[in-house]
Amino acid sequence: FMEPRVGDRFKAIISFISDTIFFVDLIDQFVSGAVHLSSLTDDYYLHDWKRYRLVGDITGKVLQIGDIIEVELTEVDVLSQKIYFAPTS
């Protein structure tokens, strides 16, 4: 049901962080999806696994579990039942 919404923007909460990907839960819908760290283009982010957060190598910007961010729906893979987002800022 999300396929027609590719390109739409949503408010989301970061729910899980790993070395290459993090997951978000949309605030206004019961939908979760993945954000590849490679889609974070404003900096190179390092995974601080002890504190469950990502830290920008140059800017020091922190993204952590519970943060609210805006994301854009970039891909819906119906066969594998996976949804991908990218941050909008």
State the pLDDT at residue 67: 96
User: In this structure, what token pair is assigned to residue 60?
Assistant: 């020091």
**Per-residue pLDDT band at 1 (split at 50, 70, 90):** confident
pTM to 2 decimal places: 0.88
State the pLDDT at residue 23: 97
| Distance, CA of 62 to CA of 45 (rounded, Å) | 9
42-76: per-residue pLDDT in tens? 899 999 989 999 999 999 999 999 999 999 999 99
State the pLDDT at residue 71: 97
CATH code (residue 28): 2.40.50.140
Q: How many independent structural domains does the chain possess?
A: 1
* Parent domain of 13: 3-87
State the pLDDT at residue 5: 84
